[in-house]
Amino acid sequence: MADLLSLSALPREAAGKNLNSSRKSGLIPTVLYGHDVAPKMFWVNAIEFGKIFHATGESTIFSLVVGKAPALNVLVHDVQLDPLSNRVSHVDFYQVDMDEELETDIPLEFIGEAPAVREMGGILVKTLEMVEIRCLPKNLPHSIQVDISSLVTFDDQIKVSDLALGETIEVMTEADTVLALVEAPRTDADMAALDVKAEMDVTKVAGVVKEAPVAAEADKKDKKDKK
């Protein structure tokens, strides 16, 4: 396994203590947990975490270094954002046992060019962004490549069963799940049908009530008499 990226952390004594002031100083509160691991709380530098998360996402292991203690192999499990500033406000880390298989979602990376798009004007449809796998941490891929060059006609599909990941990785997502296909381009008739739907009577939308013509006229007359 290649050398892991590392992120330094500082112990955090109590939950909810000094959160706002520490965040303003550039620190992020974090929690570490794992299988048979007692939860631990840390601070990490916001800028350094941003660099690590950009490189690893939630699917690549890196080292969490706390002082002179042995480095911990971790994954980013959850990232919370502040709704106003959109900055990271809290992070959950998961401590990985390198001798124990884990299950996680891995992002798909679609590569190549589909002939059905290039030559027939079709529309590429990607139905999934991630698949769930199980493997030892040392075999965990950062992403899974899906070559769409096999989509030659509108009948072709790429399914989970088409992924070639070797014997060290077990795919947990259903094998017959479609990952990508190419739809035929829309005809003028299709576009006209879409226009008709777009002009649908708004009174058919839940919560919208169309005023009856008689009632509307009566209301106008009543307002005029009051003047």
Per-residue pLDDT tens for 136-157? 999 999 999 999 999 999 999 9
Nearest CA among 135, 153, 156, 143 for reference residue 110: 143
Q: Let me know: does 20 contact 77? Beta carbons within 8 Å.
A: no
Domain 6-97, CATH among 3.30.230.10, 2.40.240.10, 3.40.1440.10, 3.40.50.150: 2.40.240.10
Q: Domain map of the chain by residue range?
A: 6-97, 103-183, 197-226
* Burial (CB count within 10 angstroms: exposed 0-12, middle 13-18, buried 19+), residue 165: middle
Same CATH fold assignment for domains 6-97 and 103-183? no
CA–CA gap between residue 227 and residue 214 (Å, rounded): 20
Q: At 183, is the pLDDT very low, low, confident or very high (cuts 50, 70, 90)?
A: very high
Q: Looking at the predicted structure, is the pLDDT value of residue 189 above 90?
A: no
Tokens of 69: 């203690």
Question: How much is the pLDDT for 219?
Answer: 53
Percent of the chain whose predicted confidence (pLDDT) is above 70: 80
CATH code for the domain defined by 103-183: 2.170.120.20
Q: Looking at the predicted structure, is the pLDDT value of residue 226 above 60?
A: no
CA–CA gap between residue 60 and residue 49 (Å, rounded): 14
CA–CA gap between residue 162 and residue 149 (Å, rounded): 13
Whole-model pTM above 0.75? no
